[in-house]
């Protein structure tokens, strides 16, 4: 684990990372540390990405504050390794004092007893009003264990030029309208898939299916219902009419973005974090972001990360909280989200993404967001959903059978 941090200049994808003035610091954290406790923060923001260097800047700025209560040392781990280390740490006691977690996984580790209860501390935040989905993702048995630091959601992206060439002047708002638009796009340009989404057998596939499931009024705990089967049938229709590529079952969300940026798909389902990537991959493309077409109601999946204090910090909980309060403050949290195409879950962050129509569309969409779960056994539940989607798209099972089998498995997990 790293015991010191270096100040370095970083260039990512050809762009210099500019740190917000809030990150300006004087002496290093170690020089000003004195007897402050050193604590670890584990996360999965790689130094080679965009968020990693930014988070390092946040930590440097906090450590340089004369009034900081602790010295924070960050430790990157790939997501799967991070979850494995958390699971092992619950048993061995080898845990960091601070942990980052993908929001659907928060409840699992709450049930294991990894997080400390911070309900009382969360109530002391100067800006403590949050969107329902994000704040509920960190709650377990009525108590707050983690807090959302950034959020994202999925929406419909449309290539303006392709839609205009097909004579489409109105974006689809319902499933029937989406199918009609797909048919018109296909007729106008048979060499381009009208629509693109991720149906891969991992959490990304679940993440992308949930808006369609939730739009029917169903949820993960009613996969065998007529509503859930209707969502699976809609996916089957997209595949049978070749509105989506057969490769959808192998594509992650990054692959979907690449296909859209390359002009191989006229529309896609994807998230706000892809906005910076589109500026790199297709800087000249004009596109529109709108609500995901609905069956009965608009819906989207909630993505993003939470931060929590683990039981390793039980004796210094309030001191470690000082850093959590810092990163949750609007002066830090708004720049963190604006810079990287995500959204602060704080309802008081009213100035974020002002004047940005693309991000404003995502901010409208996130008001229809639902958290995944929350449930301690979410990974197993998600796997059952992924299998139902893949079985439907490949024709291995009918939508009704795939939904019923997923429901039976989920009932056993619950």
**Domain limit, last residue, from 360, 380, 395:** 360
Q: Are residues 381 and 342 in the same domain?
A: no
Q: Which two tokens stand for residue 198?
A: 């991720």
Give the lowest-confidence range in 190-204, 266-280, 342-356: 342-356
The answer to the question of residue 20 being in a domain is no
24-77 pLDDT, tens digit each: 333 333 444 568 999 999 999 887 666 788 889 999 999 999 999 999 999 999
Give the lowest-confidence range in 32-36, 226-230, 350-354: 32-36
Q: Are residues 236 and 382 in the same domain?
A: yes
Q: Are residues 403 and 266 in the same domain?
A: yes
Q: Are residues 391 and 261 in the same domain?
A: yes
Domain that includes residue 157, residue range = 153-301+372-413
Residue 284: cis peptide before it, omega within 30 degrees of 0: no
Q: Are residues 92 and 233 in the same domain?
A: no
pLDDT over 50 at 95, yes or no:
yes
Q: Are residues 274 and 376 in the same domain?
A: yes
The answer to the question of residue 8 being in a domain is no
The answer to the question of residue 5 being in a domain is no
Distance of alpha carbon 171 from alpha carbon 134, whole angstroms = 28
Q: Are residues 56 and 105 in the same domain?
A: yes
The answer to the question of residue 79 being in a domain is yes
Distance of alpha carbon 334 from alpha carbon 352, whole angstroms = 6
Number of domains in the chain: 2
Looking at per-residue pLDDT, the higher value among 46 and 259 belongs to 259
According to the model, what pLDDT value does residue 26 have? 33
According to the model, what pLDDT value does residue 54 have? 84
CATH number at residue 145: 3.40.190.10
Q: Are residues 75 and 120 in the same domain?
A: yes
The answer to the question of residue 19 being in a domain is no
Neighbouring CB atoms inside 10 A of 148's CB total 27
246-256 pLDDT, tens digit each: 999 999 999 99
Give the lowest-confidence range in 50-64, 78-92, 225-239, 286-300: 50-64
Q: Are residues 91 and 80 in the same domain?
A: yes
Q: Are residues 162 and 268 in the same domain?
A: yes
According to the model, what pLDDT value does residue 414 have? 83
Q: Are residues 167 and 233 in the same domain?
A: yes
Q: Average per-residue pLDDT in the chain? A: 90
């Amino acid at each position: 684990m790293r015991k010191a941090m270096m100040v370095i200049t970083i260039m990512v994808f050809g762009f210099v990372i500019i740190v917000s003035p809030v990150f300006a610091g004087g002496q290093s954290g170690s020089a000003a540390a004195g007897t402050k406790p050193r604590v670890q923060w584990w996360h999965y923001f790689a130094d080679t990405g965009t968020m990693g260097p930014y988070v390092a800047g946040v930590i440097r700025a906090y450590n340089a504050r004369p009034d900081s209560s602790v010295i924070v040392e960050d430790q990157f781990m790939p997501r799967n390794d991070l979850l494995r280390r958390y699971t092992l740490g619950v048993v061995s006691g080898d845990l960091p004092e601070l942990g980052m977690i993908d929001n659907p996984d928060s409840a699992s580790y709450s049930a294991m007893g990894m997080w400390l209860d911070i309900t009382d501390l969360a109530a002391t935040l100067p800006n403590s009003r949050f969107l329902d989905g994000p704040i509920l993702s960190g709650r377990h048995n009525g108590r707050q264990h983690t807090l959302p630091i950034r959020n994202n959601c999925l929406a419909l992206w449309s290539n303006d030029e392709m839609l205009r060439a097909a004579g489409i002047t109105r974006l689809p708002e319902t499933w029937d309208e989406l199918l009609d638009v797909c048919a018109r796009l296909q007729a106008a340009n048979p060499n381009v898939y009208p629509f693109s989404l991720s149906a891969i057998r991992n959490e990304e596939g679940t993440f992308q299916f949930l808006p369609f499931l939730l739009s029917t009024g169903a949820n993960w705990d009613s996969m065998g219902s007529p509503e859930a089967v209707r969502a699976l049938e809609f996916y089957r229709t997209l595949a049978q009419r070749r509105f989506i590529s057969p490769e959808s079952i192998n594509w992650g969300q990054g692959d979907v973005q690449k296909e859209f940026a390359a002009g191989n798909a006229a529309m896609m389902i994807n998230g706000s974090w892809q906005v910076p990537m589109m500026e790199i991959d297709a800087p000249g493309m004009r596109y529109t972001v709108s609500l995901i077409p609905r069956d009965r109601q608009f819906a989207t999946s909630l993505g993003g990360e939470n931060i929590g204090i683990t039981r390793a910090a039980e004796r210094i909980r309030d001191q470690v909280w000082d850093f959590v309060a810092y990163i949750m403050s609007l002066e830090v949290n708004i720049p963190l989200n604006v810079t990287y195409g995500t959204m602060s879950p704080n309802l008081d962050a009213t100035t974020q993404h002002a004047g940005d129509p693309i991000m404003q569309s995502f901010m409208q969409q996130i008001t229809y967001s639902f958290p995944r779960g929350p449930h301690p056994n979410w990974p197993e539940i998600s796997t059952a959903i992924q299998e139902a989607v893949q079985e439907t798209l490949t024709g291995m099972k009918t939508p009704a059978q795939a939904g019923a089998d997923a429901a039976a498995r989920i009932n056993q997990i619950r």
